[in-house]
Amino acid sequence: MIKAYYHLAKPGIIWGNCIAATGGFMLASGGSLDLALYALTILGVSLIVASGCVFNNIIDTDIDSLMTRTQKRALVVGKITKKSAMLYAYALGMAGFLVLYFFTTFPAFLTGLFGFYVYVVMYSVFYKRSSVHGTLIGSASGAAPPVIGYLAVTGQFDLAAILIFLGFCAWQMPHSYAIAIFRTTDYKASKIPLLPLVKGVKSAQKQMLFYTALYWLSIILLFWFGYIGYVSVIVLSGICVFWMYQTVSLYQPQNDDFDERVWGKKLFLTSILAVSVYSLVLSLDFLFI
C-alpha cells in the first residue's frame, strides 16, 4: 500500500519539478546557498506537486482506464479508494502550502497556489478534455516550480521571474506535443483533444518550432538583462538549436520507413535534456560570471 500511495503522487513528475525549482532557487541565490531555506522550498514544492498529481489521478480515473499506460494505476484497479486518495491529496496540499507560507516568502506561496489552481481546476477539470488549448493552459502550472524557487530567495516577482515563467511555459508545449505524438494510441483511446491528434502532426511540428523559439528567446533575454552570463547563454542556445534542428530534420513523412511515434519520442527525450541542462545551468551560472 505504501508503494501504491507513493506512485499515486507521480514521483517522476515530483523529481522533475524539484530540479526545475532548484534552478530558480540557485539562480536567485547567486552562489550564497541557504541550505535550510532550500530544503524547505523543495519540501513545499514536492508536497504541492504531489497533491496536484493525486487530484489529477482522481479526476482522470475514467480516462486512465482507457489507456494501456495507465490501466493498472491504483485508483483504476481499486487498490486505493477515491475517498482515501482525496484525503491523501488534501493532506499533502495543506502541508505543502503551510511550508511555503511559514518558511519561504509570500510571493512564493501565492505562486504555489496559482500553479496548483491552474493544474487541478483549470487544466484537469475544465480544459484538458474540452479544448485543444488545454496544453497551453496547463503549461502555466508546470512553470510555477522554478518561479517558486526563485521567489523563495528574492521575494520579488521581477523580470527574471517573468522570463523564467515564460520560458518554462514555452518549453512545456513542444514537450507535451512530443508525448502526444509518441503515445498517439493511448490519447486517441481517451479522446483527449490534443493538437497533434486534432490538427495533425504537421501542424504540431510548426507549433513546436514556434514555442522552442520562444523558449530560446526567454533565455536570450535573461542574458540581455544580466541575469545569466555568456557561458550559460551559449550552452543553452546550443541546446535550442539542436532541438529545432531535430524537429525539422528528423520529420520526414515522405519516407516510407518514417515513424511519427519514433520521431515524437526522440523530441520528447531532447526536451527532457533541454530542461535538465537549463536547470543545471541556472544553478551553476554564478560560477561563470
**Residue 86 CB: number of other CB atoms within 10 A?**
13
C-alpha cell at 245: 534542428
Amino acid at 159: L
Model confidence pLDDT, tens digit, residues 155-210 = 999 999 999 999 999 999 999 999 999 998 888 888 889 999 999 999 999 999 99
pLDDT in tens, 100-135: 999 999 999 999 999 999 999 999 999 998 999 999
Contact 278, 222 (CB under 8 A): no
CA torsion, ordered 101, 104, 108, 114, to nearest 10 deg = -30
- Find cell 481499486 and name the residue: 78
What pLDDT is recorded for position 204? 94
What homologous superfamily is domain 1-156 in, according to CATH?
Answer: UbiA prenyltransferase (1.10.357.140)
136 has a pLDDT exceeding 70:
yes
The ranges assigned to domains in the chain are 1-156, 158-289
Per-residue pLDDT band for 233 (boundaries 50, 70, 90) equals very high
Rounded-to-integer distance, Cα 8 and Cα 3, Å: 9
**Is the pLDDT assigned to residue 289 strictly greater than 80?**
no
Mean pLDDT of the chain: 94
Q: Which three cell numbers stand for residue 36?
A: 535550510
Cell numbers given for 230: 555568456
pTM score of the predicted model: 0.95
* Residue 142, pLDDT score: 94
User: So what's the pLDDT on residue 221?
Assistant: 98
Q: Are 25 and 152 in contact (CB under 8 A)?
A: yes
Backbone angles phi, psi at 73, to 5 degrees: -65, 150
Long-range contacts of 12-15 (CB under 8 A, 24+ apart): 13/49, 13/53, 14/46, 14/49, 14/50, 14/53
- pLDDT on residue 219: 98
Alpha-helical segments (H) within the chain: 2-8, 11-29, 35-59, 61-64, 74-77, 82-103, 106-117, 134-142, 144-154, 159-182, 184-190, 195-198, 201-224, 230-249, 260-284
Burial of residue 72, with CB atoms counted within 10 A of its CB: 0-12 exposed, 13-18 middle, 19 or more buried = exposed
Least confident of 25-34, 253-262, 271-280: 253-262
Q: Using one digit for the tens of pLDDT, what is the confidence trace for 5-27? A: 999 999 999 999 999 999 999 99
Cα angle, residue 105 at apex, residues 101 and 109 outer, rounded to 5°: 50
**Please, is 81 exposed, middle or buried when counting C-beta atoms within 10 Å of its C-beta (0-12, 13-18, 19+)?**
exposed
The closest of 197, 201, 198 to 184, measured between CA atoms, is 197
What does the block give as the cell for 208? 513546436
Place of cell 474540452: 130
